[in-house]
Amino acid sequence: MSNLTLYLLLWPTLAGFLILFIKGQNAKRAAFGAAIVEFTLALLALMQYEPNANVQFPFFHTWIENFGINFSIGMDGISLLMVFLTTFLVPLIILSSFPHSYKNPNVFYALVLFMQTGLIGVFTSFDAFLFYFFWEIALIPIYFIAGVWGGERRIPITFKFFLYTIIGSLFMLVGFVYLYFQTPGTHTSDINAFYQLSLGTTDQSWIFWFLFIAFAIKMPVFPFHTWQPDTYTESPTQATMLLSGIMLKMGIYGVIRWLLPVVPQGVSQWDTLVVILAIIGIVYGAIIAIRQNDLKRLVAFSSISHVGLIAAGIFTLTEHGLQGGIIQMLSHGINVVGLFFIIDIIYRRTNTREISDLGGITQTTPALSIYFLILILGTVALPLTNGFVGEFLLLSGVYQYNNWMGAVAGLTIILGAVYMLRMFQGVMFGEQSSAAINFTDLTTTEKAVLIPLVIMVFWIGLHPNTFLSLTEPTVGHLLGIINR
Helix (H, G, I), strand (E, B) or coil at 343: helix
Q: 378-417, pLDDT tens digit by residue?
A: 999 889 999 899 999 999 999 888 888 888 888 888 888 8
Cβ(377)–Cβ(453) below 8 Å? no
Give me the residue spans of the domains in the chain. Answer: 1-262, 264-484
pLDDT at 419 over 80: yes
In this structure, of 1-10, 83-92, 298-307, the range with the lowest mean pLDDT score is 1-10
Length of the chain equals 484
Mean pLDDT of the chain: 90
In this structure, of 22-36, 125-139, 216-230, the range with the lowest mean pLDDT score is 216-230
Quick one: pLDDT band at residue 117, thresholds 50, 70, 90? very high
More confident residue, 462 or 23: 462
Mean pLDDT of 228-233: 84
Give the orientation angle of helix 366-379 with respect to helix 319-350, to 10 degrees. Answer: 150
d(CA 213, CA 220): 10
pLDDT at 456 over 90: yes
Q: Which of 19, 16, 44, 215 is nearest to 122 (CA)?
A: 215
Residue 259 carries which side chain, given as an amino acid letter? L
Q: 256-282, pLDDT tens digit by residue?
A: 999 999 999 999 889 899 999 999 999
CB atoms within 10 A of CB 348: 12
pLDDT at 180 over 80: yes
pLDDT at 1 over 80: no
The pLDDT > 90 percentage for the chain reads 53
pLDDT at 188: 87
Mean pLDDT of 336-351: 92
Residue 336 carries which side chain, given as an amino acid letter? V
pLDDT at 185: 74
pLDDT at 154 over 80: no
Q: 314-339, pLDDT tens digit by residue?
A: 999 999 999 999 999 999 999 999 99
108-136 core/surface letters (b: 16 or more CB in 10 A; e: else) = bbbbbbbbbbbbbbbbbbbbbbbbbbbbe
pLDDT at 254 over 90: yes
Quick one: pLDDT band at residue 170, thresholds 50, 70, 90? very high
pLDDT at 363: 83
How does strand 56-64 pair with strand 69-75? antiparallel
Quick one: pLDDT band at residue 184, thresholds 50, 70, 90? confident
In this structure, of 217-231, 325-339, 393-407, 468-482, the range with the lowest mean pLDDT score is 217-231
Quick one: pLDDT band at residue 201, thresholds 50, 70, 90? confident
Mean pLDDT of 172-188: 88
Q: Which of 112, 137, 106 is nearest to 124 (CA)?
A: 137
pLDDT at 442 over 80: yes
pLDDT at 394: 92
pLDDT at 2: 65
pLDDT at 81: 95
pTM: 0.93
pLDDT at 34 over 90: yes
Most confident of 71-75, 97-101, 411-415: 71-75
d(CA 264, CA 257): 12
Q: Could you please report the per-residue DSSP string of 196-213?
A: T----HHHHHHHHHHHHH
Mean pLDDT of 184-211: 88
d(CA 27, CA 108): 9
